[in-house]
Structure 1
Amino acid sequence: MILLAFCGLIFQLHYTGDITKYINPKFVRLSQSLSILFLFLFFIQITRIWTSKREEAVHEHHQGQDFCHHDSHTCSHHDDHGDTQFTVKKLLSYSIILFPLLTGFFLPAKTLDASIAEKKGGLAILGNQKQEVNSSEISDESDSDLEDQSFEEELAEAGELEHDLSVNEEAEEISNEEFEQLKKDLYSASAIKMDDKVFSLYYEEISKDIDKFIGREIEFQGFIYKEEGLASNQLVISRFLITHCVADASMIGFLSEMEEAPELYDNMWVIVSGVINKAAYNGTELPMIKIKEWKEIEEPLIPYLYPLTIKVL
């Protein structure tokens, strides 16, 4: 029954789409295979139990007949001999196994948020990060197209991208040439559009050499995180990057300045456009975005970012 329950839990996570709140989409197929394996083992175990019970029943019947010829008390005692005691050790073992099942079925999937960002170190983490990011998807649209589109049009495209990602769960791979082209596009485009496909790559490049990007237009989306010690007009617009699963999640994001900052609150999702600048935090230089436009949005169906995967030929 435990095997069947695990199969049902994984199926439920896939059916509701919550599986992407726990693992990188490129491992979705592996997760589905695991569900099938649990179901297969369930049927194997049912067969074993059924066969074992029948053999025990036949064996006990023959032994019982022999014992009963000599002592009726011995016969009665033997009938109870097959009962297995439920020890403390077994209770502990089953509790450990049942715990993820109970939490999986009865506790809703929760997205990592500002409270987790604070526990992971917040801006201190951003200041020390040197992410090694590989690519798995390539944007069909050039960054330079941003110049010809309005902010409202970009909002609509963000919704379309979210829909595409929610349907196409399995991540794609790109060649090393495509990966290098993405970086070239970043450096050549006058305006930077950081959609989910290239966010982690562009973030790393901008953080490595901020001076090359000062004054450039940028657009991205994320959740609000306010840290103690920031000025009243400052906040961090963040995302969580997941390599394998939520256990290895790391926060990436930009320190930002905007007049309306006091009105915004932790975990509020926004899409913003602004200009890249530079700021210092605890002696570390960080990219800082001076926000020109912003709009509150719903939390995306897939709120996390995933490293891009380079195809090895």
Structure 2
Amino acid sequence: MRFQHFIRALILAIFAAFIIKLHYTGEIMSYINPRYTLMSKIAIAIFLFLFLIQLVRIWENRNHTHNHCSSGCHHDHDHSGSFSKRFIVHLIILFPLVTGFAFAPATLDASIAAKKGLMLPQVNEGTASMGEHLNRMGEATDEKSAESIEPPANKDDSIIQHTAPLANTNYLSKEQFDKEMEKLTTSDIIQMNDNIYASYYSRITEDPASYIGKKIKVSGFFYKEDGFEENQFVLARFLMTHCVADTSVIGMLVEFNEANDYQEDTWLEIEGEINVTNYNGHVMPFIKVDKLKVIDEPSEPYVYPAMIKIV
């Protein structure tokens, strides 16, 4: 048996088992946007394929493998390098697996939001608007696919165009997306549902004056930045475009006289009225609270850019 090939086979098998575990438990959603679940399943297949290759090499006849070498052979037959060097390499590879199995994934919270900083909408001239920022985040990653489709006439800045069906709930057809966006102006109350949250947020923050007086219902976690008034806080969400590493903090500014009664990371559901205010020179919407209640943290706390199939 060739020990180095055995170690490699073992590592590949553990990597495959780890990703399978994430899918089985649903924890995969704590790491990546649901639109990448297919890619992660392909990664499982690749790891298992490479595992089988290494498994075959474990039992190869060493004499048969190396009978072409003379005494002066300088080929690397898996014995080069010191034991300490190989040990360190394997330790680095195994570290994410050990931590992945040992610790449950944690949901991002207000402490992470404070480090990332809040994405302020509709800033002064010379700085990109919120919609432009979401547009850059939501660029289609497959350039070849992007070239093969015709962009819609009125492309929203917070959508991702796709040419194949996807499993997560924020996958919408163009007709469904347009219908959802119409509700911003036609509905008696704006429902900030997760599947359309990013698009609604982009539209409202880019033109807040158009929504003054509109009723809104939204949920998120309590987050308060330095410089806020005592009655101000943000009902925040983490927007995940690709994976947990690229999440950004978005959310609606709220004015509520009893804001100090709540602690950071408390999940709230708020109904209120949209107004506008000036924050550090930025015109932005805020919610004047009519109703507020504490809710449990949702099983899927992140929101994602809406995805649209372009035919």
Query: Fold conserved (TM > 0.5)?
Result: yes
Q: 1:97 aligns with which of 85, 93, 100?
A: 93
Is 1:134 the counterpart of 2:134 in the alignment? no
Alpha-carbon distance in 1 for matches of 2:13, 2:63? 22
Residue aligned with 2:251, SS = strand
The answer to whether the 8 Å contact 1:135/1:174 transfers is: no
Match of 1:139 in 2: none
Deviation by residue 1:108-162 (Cα, 9 ceiling, x = unmatched): 20111111111112265785633221168xxxxxxxxxxxxxxxxxxxxxxxxxx
Q: Any unmatched runs of 5+ in structure 1?
A: 64-80, 137-167
Match of 1:269 in 2: 267
Match of 1:17 in 2: 26
- Percent identity of the aligned residues? 40
Q: CA deviation at 1:286?
A: 1.2
Q: 1:244 aligns with which of 236, 242, 260?
A: 242
What root-mean-square deviation, in Å, do the aligned CA atoms of Structure 1 and Structure 2 show?
Answer: 2.6
TM-score, normalization: structure 1?
Answer: 0.76
The answer to whether the 8 Å contact 1:135/1:179 transfers is: no
Alpha-carbon distance in 2 for matches of 1:17, 1:31? 13
The answer to whether the 8 Å contact 2:119/2:249 transfers is: no
Alpha-carbon distance in 2 for matches of 1:82, 1:194? 57
Match of 1:3 in 2: 12
Compared CA separation, residues 172 and 228, structure 1 to 2 (3 A): closer
Match of 2:179 in 1: 181
Greater share of helix residues, 1 or 2? Answer: 1
Is 1:220 the counterpart of 2:218 in the alignment? yes
TM-score, normalization: structure 2?
Answer: 0.77
Residue aligned with 1:224, SS = strand
Q: CA deviation at 1:38?
A: 1.1
Match of 2:232 in 1: 234
Is 1:47 the counterpart of 2:56 in the alignment? yes
The answer to whether the 8 Å contact 1:135/1:173 transfers is: no
Matched AA of 2:102: F
Aligned residues: 262
The answer to whether the 8 Å contact 1:28/1:170 transfers is: no
Alpha-carbon distance in 2 for matches of 1:83, 1:209? 65
Structure 1 or 2, whichever has the larger Rg, is 1
The answer to whether the 8 Å contact 1:25/1:171 transfers is: no
Alpha-carbon distance in 1 for matches of 2:169, 2:27? 16
The answer to whether the 8 Å contact 1:29/1:170 transfers is: no
Residue aligned with 1:51, SS = coil
Alpha-carbon distance in 1 for matches of 2:23, 2:17? 10
Q: CA deviation at 1:33?
A: 2.0
Alpha-carbon distance in 1 for matches of 2:115, 2:78? 52
Q: 2:35 aligns with which of 8, 26, 33?
A: 26
The answer to whether the 8 Å contact 2:170/2:196 transfers is: no
Match of 1:150 in 2: none
Q: CA deviation at 1:241?
A: 0.8
Alpha-carbon distance in 1 for matches of 2:78, 2:159? 58
Alpha-carbon distance in 1 for matches of 2:13, 2:221? 37
Compared CA separation, residues 123 and 24, structure 1 to 2 (3 A): closer
Residue aligned with 1:8, SS = helix
Alpha-carbon distance in 2 for matches of 1:220, 1:93? 48
Alpha-carbon distance in 1 for matches of 2:113, 2:285? 18
The answer to whether the 8 Å contact 2:16/2:47 transfers is: yes
Alpha-carbon distance in 2 for matches of 1:235, 1:98? 42
Matches within 5 A, 1:49-128: 49-53=58-62, 55=64, 86-122=82-118, 124=120
Alpha-carbon distance in 1 for matches of 2:300, 2:266? 15
Residue aligned with 2:249, SS = strand
Q: CA deviation at 1:54?
A: 7.1
